[in-house]
Chain A
Amino acid sequence: MRVQLFGTCMIDTFFPETGMSVMKLLRHFGVDVSYPKGQTCCGKPANSGGYARESRKAAEQFISVFEGSKDPIVTPSGSCASMVKNHYHHLFKDNTMMRDKALAVADRTYELTQFLVHELKVHEAGLSGKGKITYHASCQLTRELGVKEEPLLLLQSLNGAEFIPMPYADRCCGFGGVFMAKMPEISTALADEKLDTVLSTGADTVTGCDHGCLMNIADAVRRRGARIAVKHIATVLAEGLK
């Protein structure tokens, strides 16, 4: 099986090791992964800020990079996947040709855990893990994409790790893209609340499917000096490969 990886601008810029985990994971399950050249950002930051023109430019770039193939497009981010799947076609409502192209790439796009569970059955592979893991259910992943069970199935399947559900797991961590920069007081207060619920589980690792949220949570950890690891789910899973 072949897939095209959309790495996301955040992983590309800040967290290349998460990208490597994704590659490792997919390759381990026999996937031929390509990383199409020319990919930039899905446009989500501009789109959530209300900048339709700029997010359209990003969408056009994404479409031009990925449209040449029929392979699934996999991305390790709920909010980027949702941007492509749920928002792109709205950006081109006055342009039928582009809208059709947007819908075509949307059809091929999967968030990582969706792909791991539905296409690769990774939750049945008996991966190993360690320690106590809790999980933050990010907003667009949970509510826009409806991906609720997949990450849980994966985490619960890890031999040797204990999965501890977090209270209010699907409550916003306060990242919100531009929100983080424009409303820092509220953003950090929400991240602090999130960290309270994270720590209440007694876990030694908190994971999730979106680096934006994880970054915001990691900042709350840093500010508080708390002792808990913050890792993308791809990294948690890749660590369990034999």
Chain B
Amino acid sequence: MTSTATSIPFRANAAEALSNSPLRAAMRNATETFAKKRTEATASLPIEEWRTQASDTRLRVLENLGEYVDRFSANAVRAGAKVYRADNAESAVSIVGSILKDRAVQKVVKSKSMVTEEIHLNKYLETLGFKIVETDLGEYIIQIAGEGPSHIIVPAIHKDRKQVGRLFSEKLGCEYTEDPAALTKIAKKILRDEFLSAKAAISGANFAVADSGSLVIFTNEGNGRMCTTLPPLHIAVLSIEKMIPSLADLPKFMRLLPRSATGQMLTTYMSVITGTRKAGESTGAEELHIVLVDNGRTKIVAGEYREMLKCIRCGACLNACPVYRLVGGHAYGATYPGPMGIVLTTLLEGMEKAHPLLDATTLCGACGDVCPVKVPLPELLHKLREERVERGFTPYLERQGMVGFGFAAESPQLFSLGQTVARVFWPLAKKIPGLGALERMPIPAQITFGRSI
């Protein structure tokens, strides 16, 4: 059981990405800018203290996740929302589908949400005949390109402005321009008409406040606010671990999430939505449906990888990851890329499918250093590698090699024999295909250090 037909071909994907020079340039520019801004935005602040506090709050939620979800649900219902629990992706998409089918809507505007990517909501709704319009600019770009996001907060990070310009002129019939401001204006005009005519919206949420039943949405473009205030019907889809205890906890995350994500002090727009539009209020949806997606979380939270669910989806670990920076998000062949993506994908989709992703890390530790909620990513990655070995998902030759290593490591005589054999056969071994790494190492010394002293 080494590599199965269904496992993600990470190495091949990565090799392809590496030969794509516009992608590499776009990735380098963007991740370097974000990482630099993040460093600047977190300098000379008590960032360690903030991280610890945020981590503690998230952990407290995860330790009693069921209770927080119940409390949130009760309070959201009290505020006028309808709350649904979906155990898995199928039930989540069919809940959303049936809410929409009951209303006479054809078109849905949507603000960015990773969990809807995870459950493949757009595809499902499109097969039911609905038109889905992504309204986050990056999401809009990849939607018209027919692609998935390659970064959890910057979905079109892999594209440069020339590619976006060509895409717009091809798909939207406008004149070619590569000026970002002009391109934004084109999209804005189209999206404004979509907002004004839409009768339904789907959003995600960054946080769900248990004590008030509120949803908190951060955006930079204001599209989240348009989606959740203009159309009369608002469906929010979020995964259950998004809970925070109370509004008093929100500032901890307001200051950390944007700083970690893009280096902003604050997000440009923050909406706190508590239930439906009340009498006398001028904005807000008349109907609010909240779909809480489990899709494996309850199981994860009960196990040894619980801390992964502290993640607040800031993307800092992606920008810091040497592998992600090089190959981009699509190489991971899954919804979530980068270090957090390797862990989450393995937990959500299973070892059989995701095990090749565990090679997509040098275990350099940069991700763990930047995470605002102290998800111990290097530890979790390492633990998953151990699980991969235990469950027999590493290649046969590698396993045999390691068994040999184990014997040699505990026996100095065998170890030294191994060194001699390596020295003698090195020139020969270098010629064996698949042992390319030897080509990149020097020839073993004639006399080992141990013997030369």
Interface residues of A (CB under 8 A from B): 7, 9, 11-16, 18-20, 23, 35, 37-41, 43, 45-54, 57-58, 60-61, 139-140, 143-144, 170-172, 174-190, 193, 215-216, 218-219
Contact B359 A179 (CB under 8 A): yes
B186 on the interface (CB 8 Å rule)?
Answer: no
Nearest CB in chain B: distance from A97 CB, A: 18
The complex places the Cα of A174 from the Cα of B441 at a distance, in Å, of 14
* Cα distance, A170 to B407, chains bound together (Å): 34
Residues of B within 8 A of A35 (CB): 450, 453
> A178 contacts which chain B residues (CB < 8 A)?
398
Of B386, B388, B409, B453, the residue contacting A58 (CB under 8 A) is B409
Do B15 and A16 have beta carbons less than 8 Å apart? no
Main secondary structure, interface of A, reads: helix
Complex Cα distance A12/B443, Å? 12
Instruction: Tell whether, in the assembled complex, residue A20 and residue B440 are in contact, meaning their CB atoms are under 8 Å apart.
Output: no
Asked whether A48 lies within 8 Å of B322 as measured between CB atoms, the reply is: no
- Least Cβ–Cβ distance between B321 and chain A, in angstroms: 9
Alpha-carbon separation in the docked complex, A52 to B322 (Å): 25
B3 in the interface (beta carbon within 8 A): no
Find out whether the CB atom of B405 lies under 8 angstroms from the CB atom of A45.
yes
**6 A-B pairs with the lowest CB-CB distances in the bound complex, closest first:** A50-B385, A176-B362, A54-B406, A19-B449, A58-B409, A172-B364
User: Which of A40, A51, A176 makes the CB contact (< 8 A) with B363?
Assistant: A176
| Contact call A20/B452, Cβ cutoff below 8 A | yes
Beta-carbon nearest neighbor of A183 in chain B:
B359
Residues of B within 8 A of A (CB): 11, 14-15, 18, 322-323, 326-327, 358-366, 368-369, 382, 384-390, 394, 398, 402-403, 405-412, 415, 419, 422, 436-437, 440-445, 447-450, 452-453
Q: What are 8 A-B contacts with C-beta separation under 8 Å?
A: A14-B443, A37-B412, A144-B365, A171-B322, A176-B361, A179-B359, A190-B322, A218-B442
The CA-CA distance from A19 to B449 in the complex, in Å, is 6
B409 near A189 with CB under 8 A, answer: no
Q: Are A183 and B14 in contact (CB under 8 A)?
A: yes
Residue numbers in B under 8 Å from A19 (CB-CB): 449, 452-453
Partner of A183, one of B360, B386, B394, B412: B360
Question: Across the interface, do A189 and B18 meet the contact criterion of CB distance under 8 Å?
Answer: yes
- Inter-chain pairs besides A19-B449, A40-B415, A49-B385, 11 sampled, C-beta below 8 Å: A14-B442, A14-B445, A16-B448, A41-B409, A46-B405, A54-B406, A61-B411, A143-B366, A183-B359, A187-B362, A216-B440
Query: For A182, what are the chain B residues with a Cβ–Cβ distance below 8 Å?
Result: 11, 359
The CA of A61 and the CA of B437, in the complex, are separated in Å by: 27
Task: Point out which of A7, A57, A180 has the most chain B C-beta atoms below 10 A from its C-beta.
Answer: A57
